[in-house]
Amino acid sequence: QVSAQQGPWRGAGQSAGSPAYNYMFQMPLPIGPVAEPELTVNVNGRTVQYYSVTIEPFTQQVYPNLGPAHLTGYNGTAPGPTFKIPRGTETIIRYLNRGELSAAVHLHGSYTHSVWDGWASDEMQVGQWKDYYYPNSETARPIWYHDHADGHTATDAYYGQAGVYIITDSAEDALGLPSGDYDVALALSDKRYQSNGDLASPNGNPINFFGDVIHVNDQPWPYLAVEPRKYRLRFFDMSLSRPYDLYFADPSGNWIPFQVIGSDSGLFGAPVSTNNLLIAMGERYEVVVDFSSYAGKNITLGNNLQQGQIQEYDNTNKVMRFVVGNRVSDSSNNGAVPSVLNANIEWPTPRTTVDHTFNFQMGGDSVWTINGIDFSNVNNRILAKPQQGSTQLWELRHTGGPAVHPVHVHLVNMQIISRTGGSRGVLPYEAAGLKDVVLLEPGEVVRVLAFFGPENGVYMFHCHNLIHEDNTMMDAFNVTYLQALGYNQTTDFADP
Ligand code: C2O
Ligand code: CU
Ligand code: CU
Could you report the per-residue pLDDT of 100-142, keeping only the tens digit for each?
999 999 999 999 999 999 999 999 999 999 999 999 999 999 9
Distance (Å, rounded) from C-alpha 66 to C-alpha 22? 12
Identify the band that residue 38 occupies on the pLDDT scale cut at 50, 70 and 90: very high
pLDDT for 493:
42
Give the closest residue (by CA) to ligand 1 atom 3.
108
Atom number in ligand 1 closest to CA 437: 1
Longest Cα–Cα distance in the chain: 68
At 481 the pLDDT is: 76
Give the Å distance between the CA of 464 and the centre of ligand 1.
7
Q: What is the pLDDT, as a whole number, of residue 487?
A: 47
Among 202-216, 286-300, 359-373, which is the least confidently predicted range?
359-373
Q: What band does 482 get if pLDDT is binned at 50, 70 and 90?
A: low
Higher pLDDT among residues 148 and 487, named by residue: 148
pLDDT value of position 336: 97
Cis peptide before 206 (omega within 30 of 0): no
Q: Is residue 13 predicted with pLDDT exceeding 60?
A: no
Please choose, from the candidates 405, 438, 393, 398, the residue with its C-alpha nearest in 3D space to the C-alpha of residue 422.
Answer: 398
Contacts by residues 353-357 (CB-CB < 8 Å, ≥ 24 positions apart): 353/393, 354/393, 354/394, 354/395, 354/447, 355/384, 355/386, 355/392, 355/393, 355/394, 356/383, 356/384, 356/392, 356/394, 356/395, 357/394, 357/395, 357/397
CA separation for the pair 260, 277 (Å, rounded): 8
Q: Indicate the range of 191-205, 307-321, 419-433 predicted with least confidence.
A: 307-321
DSSP designation for 275: S
The region that residue 136 occupies, defined by phi over 0 for left and psi between -120 and 50 for alpha, beta otherwise, is left
DSSP summary character for residue 257: P
Does the Cβ of 106 fall within 6 Å of ligand 1?
Answer: yes
Asked whether the predicted pLDDT for residue 11 surpasses 60, the reply is: no
Cα-to-centroid distance, 142 and ligand 2 (Å): 12
Q: List, in order, residues 6 or more apart from 354 with CB less than 8 Å away.
A: 393, 394, 395, 447
CA of 473 to the centre of ligand 1 (A): 12
Helix (H), strand (E) at residue 171: helix 170-173
Q: Is the pLDDT of residue 370 over 80?
A: yes
Q: What is the phi-psi region of residue 173: left when phi exceeds 0, alpha when psi lies from -120 to 50, beta otherwise?
A: alpha
* pLDDT value of position 44: 93
398 touches ligand 1 (CB under 6 Å)? no
ipTM for the complex? 0.99
Top-ranked range on mean pLDDT: pick from 164-168, 203-207, 492-496 = 164-168
Q: Residue 373 pLDDT more than 90?
A: yes
pLDDT score recorded for residue 36: 98
d(CA 135, CA 133): 7
Residue 311 confidence (pLDDT): 84
Could you read off the pLDDT of 311-366 as tens digits, one per residue?
889 899 999 999 999 999 999 999 999 999 999 999 999 999 999 999 999 877 77
In 3D space, the residue among 151, 114, 103 whose CA is nearest the CA of residue 410 turns out to be 114
Candidates 432, 452, 235, 231; CA nearest to 342 is: 432
Contact between 223 and 30 (Cβ < 8 Å): no
pLDDT at 490: 46
Give the number of whichever ligand sits closest to the CA of residue 146: 1
Cα separation, 472 vs 373, whole angstroms: 9
Compute CA distances 414 → 50, 280, 433, whole Å.
31, 16, 9
* Cβ partners under 8 Å of residue 469, min gap 6: 153, 154, 462, 463
pLDDT above 90 coverage of the chain, percent? 86
356, 384, 419, 452, 455 from 489: Cα distances, Å: 18, 11, 32, 17, 16
3-state helix, strand, coil in the chain (%, to 5): 10, 40, 50
What amino acid is encoded at 153 in this protein? T
Across the range 51-74, mean pLDDT stands at 97
Q: Which domains does the chain have, with CATH numbers?
A: 39-169 (2.60.40.420), 180-324 (2.60.40.420), 356-492 (2.60.40.420)
- Does residue 14 register a pLDDT over 80? no
| Average pLDDT, integer, range 365-373 | 88
Closest by alpha carbon to 200, among 90, 320, 291, 70? 70
Average pLDDT over the chain reads 93
Give distance in angstroms: CA of 177 to centre of ligand 3: 35
Q: Is the CB of 148 under 6 A from ligand 1?
A: yes
In this predicted structure, what is the pLDDT of residue 450? 97
Which ligand is located closest to the Cα atom of residue 120? 1
pLDDT digits (tens, 9 = 90+) for 438-447: 999 999 999 9
> 432-442: b or e for each residue (b if 16 or more CB lie within 10 Å)?
bbbbbbbbbbb
82 and 165 Cβ atoms separated by less than 8 Å = yes
Q: How confident is the model at residue 494 (pLDDT cuts 50, 70, 90)?
A: very low
Task: Output DSSP code: residue 288.
Answer: E
pLDDT value, residue 312 = 86
Does the structure show a pLDDT above 50 at 385? Answer: yes
In percent, how much of the chain has pLDDT > 70?
93
Q: Name the pLDDT band for 16 (thresholds 50, 70, 90).
A: confident
Quick one: CA dihedral 490, 461, 136, 386, positive or negative?
Answer: positive
- Mean pLDDT score, 164-176: 98
